[in-house]
Structure 1
C-alpha cells in the first residue's frame, strides 16, 4: 500500500483551528486555559492507475503502454487468459464484454486480457482544506485499508491525531477498529463522525452510527461540533462548527488531472499526486490570506510558548 504524508502537516495546523475543548479524558477546571479541537476530513476518489492483471497482485506493470503484467507474471502472456483454466485464484472479477463460458456469464469470468486498476485514491485533509496525506486502496475502499492509511499518516505523530475525523463510512470504520482491537488508541484519541452530506443517507436504525458518529448531535454531547449564531433578524440558530465536505471539494479539483494520472506508471502517479497535494495546500493558504482568515503571528507566539498547547 502506497501512501504519502505532506511535510509539516502533523504539527499544530495553522488556519485549521476552529473550536476549543478540554483535554481528552480530563474534566476542565473553570477559568483554565483550553486546548484546540482539530477536525480532519477523509474521502475516497476514483482516481486510478493501472496495475497487474492478476487479481491477487498489486504490482506495477512492466509496460504501461500496452502491457498487462508485472515482471513476476510475464510468463502468463502465453497462457490462456481465462483464470479458472490454468490457475485457481480468488478476488473481484473484472467486468468485460465476454461471451458466456460453460454456463458462466461473460461479465463474471475472471481473466487477464487487460490490466486492472487501483480502486481509489484516499485523501485526508484538515477541515480548512489543507491536505494532510493520502493513500491508495487497491481492491475496494475497505475499512481495513482505510485504517492502514490513517495509521500510516499519523504513526510518527500519534499526539497530533485529530480530535474528530469525518468520513462517509465512519460508522463501519469504527466497527472495524473496535472489532479488531478494542483497545486501539484511535478509539481514545479521535471521534469518528460521518460527514454531514452522507449522514443523511445512513439508516436511522443504525444505533452505532446515530449515537457515536452523528456530525451534529443536538443533545449537547458534542458541543465542539455545534456553534450558535445570530442572524440579521436577531434570531438564534445552531450551525456546524466545521466544514465536513472539504475532501469532496479537493476531489472535485482533482478531476482536472484524472485523464493524465490514469495513464501514468505507479511511480509517476505517486509523485504527481504528492505534488498536486502541495499545490492545493498553497491555494488554500492564499485563499485564507485573501479573506483575512489566517491567524496573526502574535497568536502563534502565544501558542508555541504555552504548555497548554502541546505541539
Structure 2
C-alpha cells in the first residue's frame, strides 16, 4: 500500500524516473489537475479529502491535455493528489483554459462549468467572461431530497414555491437567460459604458463580440495585417459551428443581465435577498422587482439624497448681534424632453400593456373612435379616422412620406437597380407622435377652423430633475402632459416632504409662475425658501416689465447667492446635466415604463457616485446631514 507524500518536495522527488520521466509533464499534470478540481468536486459527497481515484471523464481529459498515458495519470494522482487538493490561487493562462475546455467539452468537464451539489442535471450553455473570452460550459442544477429544493447557480426553487430565491450577496456570474451566463465584471463594464458612453445594449453586445469574445480578436479583426496567423486563429468559429448554444452576446441578454445585476446589487446594499417569480419568461420575471425598486426611488429614494458639500451647502454668519450661524442650501429644478410611450389620453398615467398601443387598457375603447380631436364618430375599417372626407385627408397626409418612399423605390427597380426589401410600415410610423393641422374646405358658419389628429402614440412630456449645484441629482419625476407649475410644486414637495427639509433657495426657470401658484392655493410649504430664476433664463425669458417677477425672482435680489461680485452656486447645473440625460433619448424612447424608470434611476445613482468621488478628489469639503435633521422623529 503506497502512502501519499506530505509535501510538494517529497511528492516530486518520489516520482520514479521510469514512470514520469519528463519534469515538464509533471508540472503540466499538476496545472491541468488543478483546473479539473471543480469537476472532481462535483462527483463527490465529501470534498474534505481528495478521492483515491479520479473520475473516468477527468482521467480522459488529463490524458488528452498532458500527453501522458492512462497509467501515468493514475500514478501521478496517487502521488500528487494532496498537493493538488490543497492548491490555492491558481491563475491559469488563456491558452491552458482554452485547451482544457476544448478537450473537456467532449467529456462534460470544464474549468468554468457552473455546478452545485451532487446528482447533476446538466445542460449546455455559454459563459461570457472578461479574461477568458466566451466559453462553452455545462450548467448544472441539482435537487435535494431532504429540503425539496432545486439548486441553480444563482438561485434556488422550493418544490412547493413559485419563486426564484436568489442566494445572498452578488454572484461572480449572473444568469441572464436560461443558457447564457455573464460575469459580473462584464456587466459592471456594460453599466459604466451606459453611464459614460450612452451605449445601448446592442452596442455593448457588439463591442464584446468584436473586441473581447476571442483571445485572438486583434488578428481576426485585421487579417490582412496578420496573414501568417489569421487562418490559425479560428478556434472560436470552430466552437460556434459545433456548440448548440450561440457563443455570441445578444442585446437582450445584455439588458436582462443589467437589470438582474442591478437588482442583486440593490438587494445586497439593503441586506436582503432578491425573489423573482419562477414560471415566467426572463423579461416578465423581473417586472415586479423593477416596480418595487422604482417605488423605493421616488421622492427621497436616491442614495445621494443626503449629500452636501461646500459647493451646495454653506454655513455663514447671520450678521446679527449674536452672530448666529445659518446654513444656505440650494436646489435647482429643470426638465428634459426625453420620455417613453404613454396613453394618448392627456395626463393618463396608466402604463401601456404594449409600447405599440395608443391607449392603455382603461382607455382602450378610444382606439375605435376617429383619431381627429373632438370627433366622436367611429373609425372606418382599416383606418384611424371616420368617413368624413377632411378627416380621411389627414390620415392620407400622415402616411404620404411612406408612399413617397415606395414610389422612389419603384423608380429604382424600373431602372434596374436593386433596392432593399425593407420598408416603412404603418406600425413604424405609428410609433411616432405626430399632430397635423389642416384647414377645412369651405366656409362654415363659425368661420375657418383647423383639424388636429394624433395617429402615433403619445410620449411623456419631460423628465423633471431636482439637483444640487454641485452636480448631484436628488430626484427625478416623469411629467406626462406638460411642465405645469402645479406639477412642479407637487414634485418639489415630494423631494422635500417636511418643512425642515426644504432648501433655503429653490432655483427654477419659471419660479415667478410657481410662486404665484403657491400663493393662489395658499400653499406655505416653501414659505421660507427663496425662489430665484437662474441667471440665464431670467435674462432671456423674463420681461423687465413683469414687476412681480422682478420683485420676487430676480437672482440679484438675493445677496446670499453673491460673493465678491460672483455667483456662489452653479444655478445652471440642470442645463448642463440635461446634455448628459438627453443622450439616452434614442435608448429609452421605446422602453416600457417600468424598465424606463429603473434604467434612468440606476444610471443616475451611478452618475451620482462618480460626481461625489470627483468632488472628493477636488478637495470639496464633505458634509453629512443627519437624517433626523430632515425627517425629525415625532
State the 1:277 CA deviation: 1.6
> Per the alignment, do residues 256 and 19 of structure 1 end up closer, same or farther by CA in structure 2, a change over 3 Å counting?
same
State the 1:77 CA deviation: 3.1
Q: Is 1:226 aligned to residue 562 of structure 2? A: yes
> Per the alignment, do residues 210 and 35 of structure 1 end up closer, same or farther by CA in structure 2, a change over 3 Å counting?
same
Q: 2:353 aligns with which of 33, 58, 62?
A: 62
Contact 2:533–2:555 (Cα < 8 Å) also in 1:
yes
Q: 2:619 aligns with which of 280, 286, 292?
A: 292
CA RMSD of aligned residues (A): 2.8
Written as runs of structure 1 = structure 2, the 5 A alignment for 1:79-158 is 79-86=369-376, 96-97=435-436, 99-101=438-440, 104-106=449-451, 109-111=452-454, 113-155=455-497, 157-158=498-499
CA distance in 2 between counterparts of 1:100 and 1:59 reads 33
Q: 2:591 aligns with which of 231, 245, 264?
A: 264
Question: Match for residue 195 of structure 1?
Answer: 534
Q: Is 1:164 aligned to residue 505 of structure 2? A: yes
Contact 2:333–2:465 (Cα < 8 Å) also in 1:
yes
Q: Is 1:242 aligned to residue 532 of structure 2? A: no
- Which structure shows the higher helix fraction? 2
Q: Is 1:53 aligned to residue 53 of structure 2? A: no
> Per the alignment, do residues 78 and 7 of structure 1 end up closer, same or farther by CA in structure 2, a change over 3 Å counting?
closer
Question: Match for residue 581 of structure 2?
Answer: 254
Question: Match for residue 75 of structure 1?
Answer: 365
CA distance in 2 between counterparts of 1:187 and 1:197 reads 25
Contact 1:19–1:241 (Cα < 8 Å) also in 2:
no
State the 1:273 CA deviation: 1.7
Contact 1:50–1:118 (Cα < 8 Å) also in 2:
yes
Structure 1 window deviating more from structure 2 (145-154 vs 132-141): it is 132-141
Aligned residues: 271
Question: Match for residue 322 of structure 2?
Answer: 30
- TM-score scaled by length of structure 1: 0.77
Contact 2:436–2:453 (Cα < 8 Å) also in 1:
no
> Per the alignment, do residues 198 and 56 of structure 1 end up closer, same or farther by CA in structure 2, a change over 3 Å counting?
closer
CA distance in 1 between counterparts of 2:580 and 2:619 reads 23
Q: 1:19 aligns with which of 292, 304, 314?
A: 314
CA distance in 2 between counterparts of 1:280 and 1:60 reads 27
Contact 1:49–1:265 (Cα < 8 Å) also in 2:
yes
> Per the alignment, do residues 56 and 294 of structure 1 end up closer, same or farther by CA in structure 2, a change over 3 Å counting?
closer
Classify the secondary structure of the residue corresponding to 1:135: strand
Contact 1:38–1:162 (Cα < 8 Å) also in 2:
yes
Classify the secondary structure of the residue corresponding to 2:346: coil
Q: 2:605 aligns with which of 278, 290, 310?
A: 278
Contact 1:21–1:224 (Cα < 8 Å) also in 2:
no
Q: Which has the larger radius of gyration?
A: 2
CA distance in 2 between counterparts of 1:74 and 1:20 reads 55
